[in-house]
């Protein structure tokens, strides 16, 4: 996995350096110089921490048994192909959502139009492996949207579990 915007830390580091240089070159008062130098240093540190995030050293492994997301800190997700309830797949964007019955065990393969703070390298290859491994449980859609509830999982009317106008109960 890689940062969605790989140029962003460089821009932030550049802005932090510019703040520090401006504070010392422009002849600003000492208190302002201290604040600007501190702000520039904070920006540089935050950008470096972003670059060192363990997420960028994570990788997705697909084999005959299932899918795993491995990080430097250990296994983040392990999903057996037998656990997969359904896969909602959008072939045009090579994105899919693997529904394993529980959100904590499900997996989203992001792509164009699906927001995520990271991008998956070799997404097309991973998409093909997932669709092939879950044949028979794949629901092809034009574009990926949040998964619909399975039958029998719809909330009862008036329980207040929805969001937005017309949901819940009123008094």
C-alpha torsion sign, points 79, 82, 86, 88: positive
Spans of the chain below 50 pLDDT: 147, 154-171
pLDDT tens, position by position, 95-142: 899 998 888 888 888 888 777 777 788 889 999 999 999 989 999 988
What CATH architecture does domain 55-140 belong to? Roll (2.30)
Residue-range domain boundaries for the chain: 2-52, 55-140
pTM, full prediction: 0.64
Query: So what's the pLDDT on residue 103?
Result: 85
Query: So what's the pLDDT on residue 148?
Result: 57
Query: So what's the pLDDT on residue 151?
Result: 63
Query: So what's the pLDDT on residue 146?
Result: 54
Query: So what's the pLDDT on residue 171?
Result: 37
């Amino acid at each position: 996995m890689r940062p969605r915007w790989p140029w962003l830390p460089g821009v932030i580091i550049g802005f932090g350096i510019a703040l520090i240089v401006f504070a010392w070159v422009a002849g600003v008062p000492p208190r302002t110089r201290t604040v600007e130098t501190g702000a520039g240093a904070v920006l540089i540190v935050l950008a470096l921490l972003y670059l060192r995030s363990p997420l960028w050293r994570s990788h997705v492994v697909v084999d005959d048994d299932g899918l795993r997301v491995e990080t430097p800190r250990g296994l983040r997700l392990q999903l057996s192909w037998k656990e997969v309830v359904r896969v909602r797949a959008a072939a045009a964007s090579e994105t899919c959502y693997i529904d394993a019955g529980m959100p904590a065990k499900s997996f989203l393969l992001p792509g164009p139009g699906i927001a995520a703070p990271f991008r998956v390298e070799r997404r097309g290859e991973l998409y093909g492996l997932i669709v092939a491994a879950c044949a028979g449980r794949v629901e092809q859609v034009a574009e990926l949207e949040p998964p619909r509830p399975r039958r029998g999982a719809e909330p009862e009317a008036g329980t207040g579990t929805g969001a937005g106008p017309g949901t819940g109960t009123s008094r």
